[in-house]
Amino acid sequence: MSAIQQGVKTIQRALPAVNAQGAWLAGLLLAAGWFALPSIGIAAEGTAAGPTEYRDIPYIGARNIIWVVAQLHLLLAGFVLGVPIFAWLCEVIAWRGGEKRYDKLAKEFTKLLTSAYATTALFGGILLFLLVAFYPKLMNYLTDVFFPSFLLYCLLFLLETATLYLYWYGWDAMQEGRKKSLHVFLGFLLNFFALFIMIVPNAWATFQASPVVIAEGTAFERAWAATWNPTWWPINIHRLIANVVLGGYICGAYAGVRYLSVKSAEDREHYDWMGYVGNFIGVFGLLALPFAGYWLMREIYQYNQQMGITLMGGFLSWLFILQAMLIGVLFLGSNYYFWLGITYRIPGSEAKYRKAMLMMLVSLLLCLAVWMTPHSLVASIEEAQKMGGAHHPLLGVLGVMSAKMTVSNLMILITFMSFVMYWRAGKQDTAGWAAFGKAVMGAILVLASIAVIVLGVWGYFVPAIVRINYFSTSQVLIVIFVILTITPLTALLLKSARTTTEMVWGSMPPRAGYSLVLNAVMVILLMTLMGYARSSSRVHWHVYGVMRDTSPYAYSPALGSASLIMAFCTFFFCILVAFIFWVATMGDKYKTAAGAGKGDLPHGIPAMAGGAPDKGPQG
């Protein structure tokens, strides 16, 4: 303030002196102002004497750029950290079980991974530069708090990159004997470093939402206290599972697109199978994701009531209805793919399972109807008057957490049973205890469903803390119990089962491929939506309750504007991934086109973006 006053006085003193040349001076000032206009665009905000706090760029805005780049980086990172988990698991299955097709699949997954890795790092670098440029005050503060973990992150990145190069480029060279064991170990290391590469930056992001600041102590102690903040582990677990889901569905979509475009029967079989594995991985993670999400939200609510209400009851609460719609489509799409698989890949199964599929579909839709019913409805004045307010007197009860938790658990159970049905299709039990075993499984399923519903209804009549701590937890445990009992029982039953109908790969209709693509788009949209929710829950704080956002962007964008950015991020990410995968498979297409006439290219050719050392054409 004093600086401004001083400046005003200086101008006042100078004015009489220039009075005579007022006209040309005014013109000069006008011209200078005109030529200086572009500088507004890259204006640096801060006090005249103090350091720059913010910078901006015209038209687009610093925050929008950061938003898009951060979201793209996160999506790419989710893919890059999720894929190694199941790529490695596929390799282990091939290594221990001897099924070579799993090794080929693992290699194909890794090819996609290597392609995306460089782009992820590129966007990470861009994000860092932009953050330092646009938000120097915040970055200075975060650097001060997290300096030791920045160094650790750099080290982890080096290790991850080196391991990935060895893992990918050494694939063919390390196929046999002890070399294969070493390769599998490299895969383990890749995932080990990847886990830490994820959880270290998670600490920075979660610190912004739920900071733990200690004034004293060494740099390491302060960084450690800030790292171990209340939402760090809930986010770690949630992102770990979400990455697997994202990776699975994107690999599924890749397989779906390839399936639709390949010509040979062999390739159709391969990509049909790959699509199935991708969808299975996505569903497998999707079953666990709501539990992790619930835990995260519970921790946020417990950490700060204001933030919890902003998310779940305040202006961000509509996002959770959109979330329900997207997850609903994801559940429907995944089950649809399973059901198509039963009908098309296992001839003769349709008649047997059509009724069961109808029941599952109806149950899923009923659950979805409950999940998508908001507590406060979108209604005109007239409609609201007829209802007596924004809540419907009868259906309003479906809008609260007790109902949502119940139906999400039931949807998980239905999807799990869809998978079990697919697993059992085309097989006839021969074990003596088969009838008894199936009766036990049926009883478990029915009792569990009833228990989940009873707890859900009961939840309305107990204090919130009893519902949250005991009933919701019990519902989750019941579902986990069902999965953990029915899976081994089914596996045991199928061990001695006779295959009546062989699985026919490559016979799926085109809509199966489209449903895989739809699932991937839904999961990307979902991540962009939740990214906005998590970031906006901090409202006008850079670091919640510690450092205020004093930039012109210290407001939450309206949901309509936010959804435009989310849609743009989703679209751009899909284009980016399509481009990366196109580049990655360019070499394969070339080799296929060149055919046997030219012979195989030498192995181990260093190639950009993962289009590397295949032994033969993969289509």
Stated length of the chain: 619
Name every residue whose Cβ is closer than 8 Å to that of residue 581 and which is 6 or more positions away in sequence.
112, 115, 254
Q: Pick the binder of another protein from 137, 392, 424, 542 (CB under 8 A).
A: 392
Which of 32, 381, 593, 596 is in the footprint of another protein by CB under 8 A? 381
> Which of residues 100 and 548 has its CB atom nearest to another protein in the complex?
548
Beta bridge partners of 498: 428
Q: Is 358 in the site for another protein (CB under 8 A)?
A: yes
396 lies in the binding site for another protein (CB under 8 A): yes
CB of 469 to another protein, least distance (A): 9
What CA–CA distance (Å, rounded) separates 336 from 293? 24
Which CB, 391 or 438, lies closer to another protein?
A: 391
Residue 317 near another protein by CB under 8 A: yes
How near is the Cβ of 390 to another protein at its closest, in Å?
6
Q: Which of 99, 383, 502, 600 binds another protein (CB under 8 A)?
A: 383
Query: Residues 190, 191, 196, 199: what is their CA dihedral angle, to the nearest 10 degrees?
Result: 140
Is 340 a binder of another protein (CB under 8 A)? yes
Residue 386 near residue 399, CB atoms below 8 Å: no
310 binds another protein (CB under 8 A): yes
- Between 242 and 296, name the residue whose CB sits nearer to another protein: 296
Nearest to another protein of 117, 339 (CB atom): 339
Segment near another protein (CB under 8 A); pick from 28-36, 248-256, 455-463, 607-615? 455-463
Segment near another protein (CB under 8 A); pick from 103-111, 301-309, 584-592, 607-615: 301-309
Task: Report how far apart the first and last C-alpha atoms of the chain are (Å, whole number).
Answer: 69
Tell me if 309 contacts another protein by CB under 8 A: yes
DSSP 556: P
Pick the closer one to another protein by CB: 243 or 343. 343
Q: Which of 160, 153, 158, 161 lies closest to 128 in space, CA to CA?
A: 153
260 belongs to the binding site for another protein (CB under 8 A): no
CA distance 311 to 348: 48
CA–centroid distance for 574 within its chain? 14
Total residues at the site for another protein (CB under 8 A)?
66
Tell which one of 4, 214, 378, 594 touches another protein (CB under 8 A). 378
Beta bridge partners of 499: 427
Regarding 503 and contact with another protein (CB under 8 A), the answer is no
Query: Are 53 and 136 within 8 A, CB to CB?
Result: yes
Would you list the DSSP string of 153-221?
A: HHHHHHHHHHHHHHHHHTTTTT-SHHHHHHHHHHHHHHHHHHHHHHHHHHHHHHHHHS----SSS-HHH
Nearest to 215, CA basis, from 204, 226, 207: 226
Chain position carrying tokens 């006839």? 428
Q: Which of 177, 461, 596, 597 binds another protein (CB under 8 A)?
A: 461
Among 460, 470, 481, 579, binds another protein (CB under 8 A): 460
Query: Residues 54, 551: contact at Cβ < 8 Å?
Result: yes
- Binding residue (CB under 8 A) for another protein from 204, 315, 423, 433: 315
Cβ neighbors of 439 (< 8 A, separation 6 or more) are none
Long-range pairs for 440-447: beta carbons < 8 A, 24 or more residues apart: 440/489, 441/485, 441/486, 441/489, 441/490, 444/481, 444/482, 444/485, 444/486, 445/413, 445/417, 445/482, 445/486
Using the rule CB under 8 A, give the single segment among 77-85, 189-197, 361-369, 411-419 that binds another protein.
361-369
CB nearer to another protein: pick between 81 and 368: 368
Largest interatomic CA distance in the chain: 111
**What 3-state DSSP class applies to 440?**
helix
Binding of residue 390 to another protein (CB under 8 A): yes
- Given candidates 350, 568, 574, 601, which one binds another protein under the rule CB under 8 A? 350
376 binds another protein (CB under 8 A): yes
**Quick check: 425 binds another protein (CB under 8 A)?**
no
Q: Binding to another protein by residue 320, rule CB under 8 A?
A: no
What's the CA gap between 115 and 313, in Å, rounded? Answer: 41
Q: Is residue 361 near another protein by the rule CB under 8 A?
A: yes
For residue 473, state whether it binds another protein (rule: CB under 8 A).
Answer: no
Q: Which of 139, 395, 480, 583 binds another protein (CB under 8 A)?
A: 395
Token pair for 465: 């803390």
Based on CB atoms, which residue is closest to another protein, 259 or 581? Answer: 259
Tokens of 287: 């079953």
CA–CA separation, 311 and 556 (whole Å)? 12
Asked if 422 contacts 335 with a C-beta cutoff of 8 angstroms, the reply is no
394 interacts with another protein by CB under 8 A = yes
Report in angstroms how near the CB of residue 93 gets to another protein at its nearest. Answer: 30
- Cα separation of 158 and 293, whole Å? 31
Residue 510 near another protein by CB under 8 A: no
Q: How far is the CB of 78 from another protein (least distance, A)?
A: 28
Q: Can residue 336 be called a binding residue for another protein (CB under 8 A)?
A: yes
Shortest separation between residue 322's beta carbon and another protein, angstroms: 12
H or E, element range at 498: strand 498-499
CB of residue 33 to another protein, shortest distance in Å: 34
Residues 540-579 that bind another protein (CB under 8 A): 545, 556
Q: Is 391 in the site for another protein (CB under 8 A)?
A: yes
Specify the residue, 186 or 329, whose C-beta has the smaller distance to another protein: 329
Residues that bind another protein (CB under 8 A): 302, 304-307, 309-310, 313-315, 317-318, 332, 336, 339-340, 343-344, 350, 354, 357-358, 361-362, 365, 368-369, 372-373, 375-397, 399-401, 460-465, 509, 511, 539, 545, 556
